[in-house]
Amino acid sequence: MVAIDPFLSHASESSAVAAPPHYALRASRDVDEHATHISAWHQEYDQISCGDFTGAVRELCVDAPRLQVFHEHTGQQTSQRCLPWRGAIWFGVPDACNAAPLHFSGSTQPLERERRVLCARADDGFVLRTPRDFGIYGVVIDEEWLGNQLDRMGARALLRPATASGSTHATVLSAHRHAALCQTIESMLALGASGEIALQWGRTALQALTDRLLCLLGDAAQSAEQKAVDLTARRRLRAVMTARSLAIDPVNHDLTVDALCERLHVTPRTLHNHFQGAVGESPTEFLRAVRLNACRRRLRAEACDVNVQDVAAQWGFFHMGRFSHAYKTLFGELPSQTLREARRNPH
């Protein structure tokens, strides 16, 4: 995973004070709002496929900032840059309801053939390009706390393969192991949703489920093949994320693919291959969606001080009819509707 300073510099710091278990269910019809719905993360989401966005997060935080489990669902294709809270390790388990390929930090994960658990060190962050109608379970564990838990269980080396093989990697799971992981996380979320997690028996049940979760992750790490994100994938991802950073800056509103190739010192064919490998899109399609998402953010964030024409021009959309059509095709509403709604319900 390439670390981009402006993104990493805004990471959430974890608190040293443990909090009681807390369950939350959050739903959204906007991709940017949805990106804020996982507690203590810093994320940037772009909607890539066309249509109304729907998203939901069910989340349980246990003795925060020690353990966080959640299920996230997104209805549209998204490009995600994710940074969990510092000092943690993230495990992601696609829920297998959708077998379309997933792009993880520059590498394609063929979920139709194999179940996976993805892993990333939170301080490095990671990138996902998700398909439509996609669900994923997440487990975020404070690394120091994890070590203490494994000592208590007499299993200090249990997760060593998962935490020592690089900042990002994917582990292939058996169908049985995958189902057990998903069911364990679902049980933890159901316990949180019941409200009985505050009772003594609820805390006892939660501890048993937490131990089972750690054992399942550890067994998967030790018994299954791990596929580290290779240097080629990192190089692809670095090029794509640099291109995104350039495209999202209004200063570069007239940046062409040829100019981008010159900036990145690659040929058009190489740039195309980088984008197809990392996010499954052509440079033109992906960066156009990125610029439209940037326009939407500006309209929603600064509704009282902007107008649609000025925002469109900032990102190189000078023909208002074409801009409005492209915007409505992607987001399911006109830019004027976004602005009107933002003025009605300011953040």
Asked if residues 41 and 14 have their Cβ atoms less than 8 Å apart, the reply is no
| pLDDT at residue 4 in the model | 41
CB atoms within 10 A of CB 152: 10
> What is the C-alpha separation between 243 and 262, in angstroms, rounded?
11
Tens digits of residue pLDDT in 32-55: 999 999 999 999 999 999 999 999
Query: Is 113's pLDDT higher than 60?
Result: yes
| pLDDT at residue 216 in the model | 87
| pLDDT at residue 166 in the model | 55
* The pair of three-digit structure tokens given for residue 219, joined into one six-digit string: 């067994």
| pLDDT at residue 316 in the model | 92
| pLDDT at residue 1 in the model | 36
Between 139 and 151, the higher pLDDT residue: 139
Query: Is 5's pLDDT higher than 70?
Result: no
Query: Is 301's pLDDT higher than 50?
Result: yes
Local confidence band at 112 (pLDDT 50, 70, 90 cut-offs): confident
What CATH number does domain 231-344 carry, 1.10.10.60, 3.10.20.30, 1.10.1530.10, 3.40.50.720? 1.10.10.60
Span 287-307, mean pLDDT? 90
Asked if residues 109 and 116 have their Cβ atoms less than 8 Å apart, the reply is yes
Asked if residues 73 and 56 have their Cβ atoms less than 8 Å apart, the reply is yes
Tens digits of residue pLDDT in 80-109: 999 999 999 999 999 988 888 899 988 888
Tens digits of residue pLDDT in 276-293: 988 889 999 999 999 999
| pLDDT at residue 15 in the model | 44
Q: Which of 135-149, 168-182, 207-221 has the lowest mean pLDDT?
A: 207-221
Tens digits of residue pLDDT in 224-273: 455 555 678 888 888 999 999 998 998 888 888 899 999 999 999 999 99
| pLDDT at residue 9 in the model | 47
CATH fold label, 5-228: Jelly Rolls (2.60.120)
How buried is 262 (Cβ within 10 angstroms: 0-12 exposed, 13-18 middle, 19+ buried)? exposed
| pLDDT at residue 81 in the model | 94
* The pair of three-digit structure tokens given for residue 28, joined into one six-digit string: 């959204």
Q: Which residues pair with 28 in a beta bridge?
A: 55
In 207-300, at which residue ranges do the beta strands (DSSP E only) sit?
226-228
Write the DSSP assignment of 272-294 as a string of letters.
Answer: HHHHHHHHSS-HHHHHHHHHHHH
Between 254 and 138, the higher pLDDT residue: 138
User: What average pLDDT does the chain have?
Assistant: 86
Residues of CATH 1.10.10.60 domain(s) within the chain? 231-344
Local confidence band at 14 (pLDDT 50, 70, 90 cut-offs): very low
Local confidence band at 143 (pLDDT 50, 70, 90 cut-offs): confident
Tens digits of residue pLDDT in 68-85: 999 999 999 999 999 999
For residue 320, give the nearest of 328, 312, 331 by alpha carbon: 312
Local confidence band at 223 (pLDDT 50, 70, 90 cut-offs): low
Span 160-186, mean pLDDT? 80
